Amino acid sequence: MTDPPIESNINTHSRPTDLKITDLRIVNLEPLPFNVTLLRLDTNQGISGYGEVRDGASPTYALLLKSRLLGENPCNIDKLFRKIKQFGYHGRQGGGVCGIEMALFDLAGKAYGVPAYQLAGGRFRDKVLIYSDTDTVADGAAMGERLKGRMDAGFKFLKMDIGIGLLEGIDGAVAAPPGALERRDVMHPFTGIQLTDTGIDCLVEYVRQARDVIGYEIPLAADHFGHINVESCIRLGQALDPFSLAWYEDMIPWQLTEQWRQLKQSVRTPVCTGEDIYLKEGFLPLLEAGAVSVIHPDLATAGGIMETKKIGDLAQDYGVPMAMHMAGSPVSFLANVHCAAATENFYVLENHSVDLPWWSDLIDGIEKPLIVDGYAPVPEAPGLGFGELNEEVIREHIDKTRPEGYFEPTDRWDGERSLDHLWS
């Protein structure tokens, strides 16, 4: 009987310079309440890295990158990011690039035995402040009670929606052309929707009732105002200024730099945008114009862990803090936690899934709960900080309307080829 080879008794992960990507597979989850795709990069040394394609982004955005990654060393994160970043764009179109970048950080961290934040330069904090978005109800006092419930659960930063949806059925609250209120595919300046004094008074009373319940000591941000023009945004913002809200989020589309500057100069509450912006260059016009008080990238849109840290560093040069948008699974959440830990001007991180009982069960090998007394402890384990996915729970929540199944082979994408150079 021959002795087993020496390699059977050692950890071959200790050869990160020889690490190669051998496969990319995905699984689509049912709503979390957001539709997300988890992706897995496999290697020749038996370790895998996990990432996430954010809600609303097609998994095709990730699969088309497979042929560009096969045979590459995942530890060369920046090299591979520069290779694939041209295949992303603003909105959800960067979802594939960002999901891949998360998985590269997970793999490189596992290969070298260090947490992802260390690969991003080390950490500024050992726990990350979390804010909890809260579903809207029609009554302001009832909304206040919902927010109070978040406070009782330990959250120290809150967010609510304040918008034209709350004015439905109230006569004279909104002036709009026929059909405009039902459409969501028209940018705000082009809808013709305006708030009336009646509508503004109703929204002011709504916020007053909520604030009466929760008080003023805790930060409360506001989002989802509706597709109204900048003039209505200014009128509403000025009316809500006395309530000391943490920020007005995405009142108008992020591309409209001059309108953001006009809005910021007209209200006394911080203004915030960024969840649909891809790469740091997309944030630069807003920062140069002094048009935002808070930037709000979504790591799964912005370019991944390192690019989002660069966005935060860029904003810091302009005296602007970085809050972070997050609506996804624990995989994306932990990627955000590592990035937040590594970014000095980080402010607060969003979580949309605190009411989902099985959310944290999607991953194993990490201490739970993931959020403790309103903070997320920064993991010390290698990579993103969890061991593996919980296959049993994920299989229970696969999106059965999609054909991919549970990390089924994706061989049809192995030979995808094109001339990708942006120069000749």
Write down the pLDDT at residue 421.
Answer: 84
Write down the pLDDT at residue 343.
Answer: 98
Strand partners, 25: 40
Q: How far apart are CA 337 and CA 235, in angstroms?
A: 36
Q: Tell me how many degrees the CA angle 339-380-120 measures, rounded to the nearest 5.
A: 30
How far is Cα of residue 402 from the mean position of the Cα atoms in its chain? Answer: 23
Hey, what are 193's tokens? 């929707």
Mean pLDDT over the full length of the chain? 95
Write down the pLDDT at residue 133.
Answer: 86
Q: What sections of 267-397 are H helices per DSSP?
A: 284-288, 299-302, 305-317, 330-341, 391-396
Q: How far apart are CA 308 and CA 170, in angstroms?
A: 42
Q: What sections of 64-171 are H helices per DSSP?
A: 66-69, 77-84, 95-112, 116-119, 140-152
21: helix, coil or strand? Answer: strand
Write down the pLDDT at residue 33.
Answer: 82
Short-list 337, 283, 287, CA closest to 311:
283
Q: What sections of 250-399 are H helices per DSSP?
A: 257-266, 284-288, 299-302, 305-317, 330-341, 391-396
Write down the pLDDT at residue 418.
Answer: 83
Taking the CA atoms of residue 301, residue 21, residue 416 and residue 331 in that order, the dihedral angle to the nearest 10 degrees is -30
Q: How far apart are CA 329 and CA 408, in angstroms?
A: 20
- Which residues of the chain, if any, have pLDDT below 50? 6, 10
395: helix, coil or strand? Answer: helix
Write down the pLDDT at residue 1.
Answer: 52
Write down the pLDDT at residue 419.
Answer: 84
Alpha carbon distances (Å) from 362 to 29, 329, 371? 10, 8, 15
Prediction pTM value: 0.95
Write down the pLDDT at residue 249.
Answer: 98
Contact 227, 256 (CB under 8 A): no
Alpha carbon distances (Å) from 307 to 298, 334, 359? 11, 16, 26
Q: How far apart are CA 298 and CA 326, in angstroms?
A: 6
385-399 residues labelled b (16+ CB within 10 A) or e (exposed)? bbeebbeeebeebee
Contact 278, 252 (CB under 8 A): no
How far is Cα of residue 234 from the mean position of the Cα atoms in its chain? Answer: 27
Over residues 115-127, the pLDDT tens digits come to 999 999 999 999 9
